[in-house]
Amino acid sequence: MEVSILITVKNDRTNMIRLLNSLSNEVGKNAEVVIVDAFSTDGTYEILKNYEDKLILKVDRVRGNRAIGRNRCIELATGENFIFLDSDTEVTPGWFEEFKKHFEKPIVAGRIIQKGNVKWNDLGRVPMLFQGKDVTFPSNNLKYSKAVIDEIGKFDVRMHTAEDIDLNIRAIMKGYDIFYAEDVVIYHYPRENLKSLLKQAYSDGIGRKYINKKYKLKSKFNVNNLKAHPIIEFLRLSAGIVGYLLGDFHD
């Protein structure tokens, strides 16, 4: 198998249906789809059997954070290229064929377009540079070759968030570059209320505290975010700072 698409999910039934429908149309049985469910209670796990005739599925359940789930995906995968996707995304027409054009590159980050009706759809990532390179590409629309994972190791299971930043840093430390492919596009459906956005920012702050502790690496401000959404971004930054200062890695 050339390609394994790796997805972790917990209690995200509606988004998962949308993602699997898009993968059925775009990929079919040209790649295996590995899904690890963190014991969802909303029917997410039960709907997966509806796609057994449309996709080459491998399904498992484990308890724990995203790093634990993604590592289990890696253990189940047989492909030479791992594409990581989040459950709250949707692949676009042509996505798979465009991705395959870049498979000779060890690490490829695709473009993520925010969808939905929330007014902060255009909020960008809070930058973090390591050796002058952006390491904040999330494990969503991100391809790593199996060979790279074998060399640098899997996700750090001690991290409940920013585990993808940690993986990217370790790859760059080994001399790899992350190639950005703007033509490899997915849609992402972001948090739909302010409370969930701030909860996510709080968790991100905890993760970035771990990154700073491990690598002495600090985040920077996204000036464009502050200009476009000063109040929302101020609140998000504040929640992140609280997580950074007061949060625990085991939250």
Give the count of alpha carbons within 13 A of 111, CB side only.
10
**Per-residue pLDDT, 206:** 84
What domains are there in the chain, each with its CATH number?
3-193 (3.90.550.10)
Mean pLDDT to the nearest integer, 182-203 = 85
**Per-residue pLDDT, 251:** 46
**Per-residue pLDDT, 98:** 96
Chain-centre distance for alpha carbon 206 = 17
Whether the per-residue pLDDT at 249 is higher than 70: the answer is: no
First to last CA, the chain: 37
Give the orientation angle of helix 66-76 with respect to helix 163-173, to 10 degrees: 60
pLDDT, one tens digit per residue, over 171-181 is 999 999 999 99
pLDDT, one tens digit per residue, over 114-143 is 887 666 667 777 788 999 999 999 999 999
Question: How far apart, in whole angstroms, are the C-alpha atoms of residue 204 and residue 208?
Answer: 6
pLDDT, one tens digit per residue, over 15-73 is 999 999 999 999 999 999 999 999 999 999 999 999 999 999 999 999 999 999 999 99
Q: Is pLDDT larger for residue 219 or for residue 164?
A: 164
Using pLDDT thresholds of 50, 70 and 90, give the confidence band for residue 202. Answer: confident
Q: Is pLDDT larger for residue 93 or for residue 229?
A: 93
What is the dihedral angle through the alpha carbons of 165, 97, 70, 47, rounded to the nearest 10 degrees?
140
pLDDT, one tens digit per residue, over 224-247 is 777 777 888 888 888 888 888 887
Q: Is pLDDT larger for residue 73 or for residue 201?
A: 73
Tell me the percentage of the chain whose pLDDT exceeds 90. 67
Q: Collapsing DSSP states into helix, strand and coil, what is residue 113? A: strand
To which residue do tokens 């676009």 refer?
92
Question: How far apart, in whole angstroms, are the C-alpha atoms of residue 218 and residue 216?
Answer: 7
Give the orientation angle of helix 194-215 with respect to helix 230-246, to 10 degrees: 50
**Per-residue pLDDT, 105:** 98
Whether the per-residue pLDDT at 9 is higher than 60: the answer is: yes
**Per-residue pLDDT, 191:** 67
